[in-house]
Structure 1
Amino acid sequence: MDNYVDRANQVMRKLKEKEDASNNNYKMVTTSQIRKFLAAVNRINGKIDQKKNGNKTSVARKIPEDLQMEIKFLKVKLAYQIGRAEDKRRNNPVKDFENKAELFKEIDGIGDSLEKYENFARYVEALVAFHKFYGGEED
């Protein structure tokens, strides 16, 4: 992944600009919507850390199959959030967030690479941080 900090900043800045230009017809993804996704990523982080700690000889470079499936399941969690966010005006800030951040694509690109997953997790953290920085609202 390219510089995830700059990329996260750009994504959240563009979403905030869209909100500001909409005259209250559009709201950016909320803090609780984005944090639910971060919480799922953090649960996987904890499981990966447990596996790494259990491997005394060396830190594994490949993610075990069971955790690879959990990472892929992040797409399901995000798809559910997208489905819940649709409103009567057909605005969907969670879908806009996914499209700009390209989270489905990022998840697909992880495979069994621990390095790619760790970069992805940092990217999601950076998205949450810049969401707050740009004044992202609660529900």
Structure 2
Amino acid sequence: MTILTDENYVDIAEKAILKLERNTRNRKNPDAFFLTTSKLRNLLSLTSTLFDESKVKEYDALLDRIAYLRVQFVYQAGREIAVKDLIEKAQILEALKEIKDRETLQRFCRYMEALVAYFKFYGGKD
């Protein structure tokens, strides 16, 4: 599956969020995600700056930043199992490898926004 060339990337984001692990041991809310909104927003903030830069800079000037973004996602996944769950189920690393030009870079950033939106919609909290 190619996320960034699929017109249904928003639907793909929704399905990924629905697959995330839930904290069934949480007595107050047994349907709560292990992942928190703040952790997800930290990932989104990494992409937001890149999206803004993609509007004014040439794609080639952003290649190093895109590679660093991939490293940051891997690092965050290694630190937190809930982040790793998101990265695997949302196929974020695969999507990062699909970035080939400005259009697919911006599509990736919108995919990340869709993940955050569906996370909040389905009850994601801090």
**TM-score bucket of the superposed structures, by smaller chain:** 0.7 to 0.9
Instruction: Tell whether the 8 Å contact from 1:33 to 1:81 is kept in structure 2 after alignment.
Output: no
> Matches of residues 71-90 of structure 1 in structure 2 within 5 Å?
71-85=66-80
Which letter does structure 1 place at the counterpart of 2:22?
E
- Once the two structures are superposed, what CA deviation does each residue of 1:1-31 show, in whole Å capped at 9, x if it has no partner? 321110111111121xx416x3449843111
- Once the two structures are superposed, what CA deviation does each residue of 1:45-93 show, in whole Å capped at 9, x if it has no partner? 1211222xxxxxxxx6xx11x31110121111112212221xxxxxx11
State the partner residue of 1:107: 96
Structure 2 unaligned segments of length 5 or more: list them. none
**TM-score normalised by length of structure 2:** 0.83
Aligned-residue CA RMSD (Å): 1.9
State the partner residue of 1:7: 12
Larger Cα Rg: Structure 1 or Structure 2? 1
State the partner residue of 2:48: 42
Which letter does structure 1 place at the counterpart of 2:108?
F
Identity rate of aligned residues, in percent? 37
The structure 1 segments of at least 4 consecutive aligned residues displaced by more than 2 Å after TM superposition are 22-28
- Once the two structures are superposed, what CA deviation does each residue of 1:89-125 show, in whole Å capped at 9, x if it has no partner? xxx11111000001111111113x1111111111100
How far off its partner does 1:135 sit? Answer: 0.9
State the partner residue of 1:96: 85
> Counterparts of 2:39 and 2:63 in 1: how far apart (Å)?
23
State the partner residue of 2:109: 121
Moved more, 94-103 or 25-34: 25-34
Instruction: Tell whether the 8 Å contact from 2:70 to 2:96 is kept in structure 1 after alignment.
Output: yes
Match of 1:130 among 110, 114, 118: 118
Structure 1 unaligned segments of length 5 or more: list them. 52-59, 86-91
> Counterparts of 2:49 and 2:10 in 1: how far apart (Å)?
21
> Counterparts of 1:108 and 1:122 in 2: how far apart (Å)?
16
Tell me, what secondary structure is at the counterpart of 2:99? coil
> Counterparts of 1:134 and 1:80 in 2: how far apart (Å)?
26
* Alignment length (residue pairs): 117
